[in-house]
Structure 1
C-alpha cells in the first residue's frame, strides 16, 4: 500500500509545549518550522512545514499570548503530556459531496463548519472542515478540509521536509480500512496499539516521528 495517503492535506502534530516541539523538530531535521498563525479565541497557534506536493505538517499547541479559552483547546492539547501525532486531514475535490457520500455509506464525518487563522502578517485565512462527528477514537480516520479560495498553506513560503511515509498501527486494522475507503483514501496499517508514525527526508537522512 502507498505510504503517502490519497488526498492527504496535512498531518497534525499536537503538543502541550509549542516552543519545545518546534525546537526539537528543527534539531532533528535541520528544518525550522515557519510560524503559521493564531487560532483566535481557540487558544492555539501553529507552525508549518511543507511535506511535498500539496501537503504539510501542522505543529499545534497552546498560544501563550492568548488567554486560556473557556472550552478545551483543539486536538486535546490540554491533556497531552508530550508531543504526539494526533490525526490527519484529507482534501476531497468536493467537500460537501464527500460528506454526503460518506453518510450514505454509513460513516458520519460530522457537520461542516468554518474556521480561520490569522497569519503573522495579519492576513486572515478561512477554510471549512468537518467537525469530527462520530470519529474513531484513535484519530486514525481523517477529518475533511476545503480551503476554498484561501491559498493553501503548502503554497506559502514554508520550509519543506519531504514526507517519505505516513503509517499507523491499530488493534484491528480491518475495522479501519473500510472507513478509509469510504472517504476515498488509504493509510498503511499494521496491527498494534493505535498510533501514528511519519518519516520525513532531511539533510540528516530520514527522520521518524511517532
Structure 2
C-alpha cells in the first residue's frame, strides 16, 4: 500500500541557513537542488527538488540579499536551531470548494490569499494558498495550494529524487485523522512524538529526511 498522501503538492524543509542545508542535501543525496526564487518582502528564498509526478521538496530559508522583513519570516525560519521538515501542502482540484468542504466537516484551513515569487530567470510565479486560520501546531495537517494558470514548479525541469515513503508520528493520531479526512487526504500516522519524515531514492541510495 502506498504511503504517499493523496494530492501531495510539496513538503517544506525549513532552515535557518539555506546555503548550508542545500549543501548538506547535495552531499547526502548526490543531487543538487535547483534555485527556486525569491519571496520579495518576506526575506526568504528557496531551492527545489522534484519528488516525482507533480510533487516536490521546497527547501526554504533566509535570503541574505534582502533587507530585514517588516514581520517574521515564513515558517519561523529565524527561530529554528537547524533544518526541519515543518509541514506539507496538498493541491485539490478546486481550492475554494475544498476550503468550504473542510469547514463543513469542522476544520477551518484558513482564508485563501495570493502569493508570488520570481524565478532566477525572471519568470513571475503566482499562486493561492490557505493561510492556516486554524492550523494544527504539529504541522501534520497540510495547507492547501492552487497554482492556477502558473506553470507548476515541477514543470521547470527540476532535478528529481523520487519519493519512496512518507511517515508521521503524533501523540494522538486519532486527533489528526479527522482533519486529514476533512481535507480529502491521508497521512500514515503512528503514535509517538510529533514528527514528519519522508524517504527519497537517490544516486547514493534511499535517504530519509525528518
Q: What is the TM-score when the length of structure 2 is the normalising length?
A: 0.99
Structure 1 position 57 matched with structure 2 position 57? yes
Shift of 1:157: 1.4
The count of residues paired between Structure 1 and Structure 2 equals: 210
RMSD after superposition: 0.7
Identify the residue that residue 29 of structure 2 maps to in structure 1.
29
The equivalent of 2:103 in structure 1 is 103
Where 1:28 maps in the other structure, the secondary structure is helix
- CA separation in 2, counterparts of 1:154 and 1:82? 26
| Alpha-carbon distance between aligned partners in 2 of 1:191 and 1:206, rounded to the nearest angstrom | 24
Unaligned runs of 5+ in 2: none
In the alignment, the residues of structure 2 paired with residue 86 and residue 39 of structure 1 have an alpha-carbon distance, to the nearest angstrom, of: 18
Q: Which runs of 5+ in 1 are unaligned?
A: none
Q: 1:2 Cα deviation (Å)?
A: 2.9
Runs of 4+ with deviation above 6 angstroms: none
Q: CA shift at 1:120, angstroms?
A: 0.3
How far off its partner does 1:31 sit?
Answer: 0.4
Where does residue 13 of structure 2 map in the other structure? 13
Q: Distance in 1 between matches of 2:207 and 2:21?
A: 15
Counterpart CA distance in 1 for 2:107 and 2:2 is 23
Match of 1:42 in 2: 42
* Aligned mates of 2:196, 2:104 — CA distance in 1: 28
- What is the rounded CA distance, in whole Å, between the counterparts of 2:168 and 2:154 in structure 1? 23
Report the counterpart of residue 4 of structure 2 in structure 1: 4
Q: 1:8, 1:89 within 8 Å by CA — same for their partners in 2? A: yes
- TM-score normalised to structure 1 length: 0.99
SS in 2 for 1:60: strand
CA contact (8 A) 1:35 1:48 kept: yes
